[in-house]
Amino acid sequence: ADIIKYGSTKRAYLGVMFGNGQSDEEQAKTKNVDGVYIVEVSKGSAAAEAGLQKGDVITGLNGAKITTGTQVIERIAAMRPGEKVMLTYNRDGADKTVSLTLKGEAGTYTALTGKAAEQLGANFENLSKEKAAELGLTGGVQIKSLKPGILREQTRIREGFVVTKVNGKKISTTEELTTALKAAGSSAIISGVYPSQPQREYQYALNDLG
């Protein structure tokens, strides 16, 4: 439907990245608050314009309780640019509520067919056992370079990112990545880390995969 209506796929974009509960600051902020800790807010995003900041803890979205970053990503991915959402969050012990208008990122539609991983627009390499151990991982698939494709068009993922999970399933090889993406259907959430911050897990939502 998006292809007919827009000529390209469009997904709603909030503009925040979440922590994984391991930093001292995050543990302190979420000790007495159930929610998701914001580690980064993208400039010019809907979240930034609404005044959200690093260190805020998102606790609710449109009246629904939020306890994981995946819940936020899935709910936002189901919305359209221009839609308004009501976000509740905690800042330094004070509960706040803000209404914000989602922005969109447009990308050319690419179907994931036979060579699913290649359609993402990236060159992947299995993480060596030595590198995985250095990062505290059991395995993963690293993005060596990016080119035009789904990853660049739908996300702000950067080269060097190590994919460790697709829809919560652990990924250790490029073959497992391809299989997981084929099984994902029309959307997927990929999780992983950047080598410079191995203790912080990032999640990216991919839509209109097939």
pLDDT value at residue 32: 83
pLDDT single digits (tens) 128-149: 888 999 999 999 999 988 888 8
Weakest mean pLDDT among 33-37, 107-111, 112-116, 163-167? 107-111
Quote the percentage of the chain above a pLDDT of 70.
84
**pLDDT for res 94:** 94
pLDDT in tens, 19-33: 766 677 777 777 888
| Length of the chain as a residue count | 210
Mean pLDDT of the region 114-137 = 80
Structural contact between residues 59 and 66, judged by C-beta atoms closer than 8 angstroms: yes
Range 39-56 average pLDDT: 88
Predicted pLDDT of residue 3: 35
Q: Given this model, what pLDDT does residue 179 score? A: 84
User: What is residue 210's predicted lDDT score, i.e. its pLDDT?
Assistant: 58
Q: How many CB atoms lie within 10 A of CB 112?
A: 22
Note if the pTM is more than 0.85: no
Handedness of CA 78, 96, 37, 18 (dihedral sign): positive
More confident residue, 11 or 192: 192
114, pLDDT greater than 60: no
Tens-place pLDDT, residues 60-104: 999 999 998 888 888 887 888 888 999 999 999 999 999 998 886
Q: Does residue 107 have a pLDDT over 80?
A: no
* pLDDT value for 10: 55
Q: Enumerate the β-bridge partners of residue 89.
A: 58, 96
Alpha helix positions (H), 66-208: 69-77, 116-119, 129-135, 150-154, 174-184
The predicted pLDDT at position 79 comes to 84
- Residue 105 is which amino acid? E
Q: Which domains does the chain have, with CATH numbers?
A: 2-105 (2.30.42.10), 110-206 (2.30.42.10)
What pLDDT sits at residue 75?
A: 87
Supply angle C-alpha 38, 43, 47, rounded to 5.
Answer: 50
What pLDDT score was predicted for residue 111? 31
**Listed residue (61, 51, 23, 60) closest to 39, CA to CA:** 23
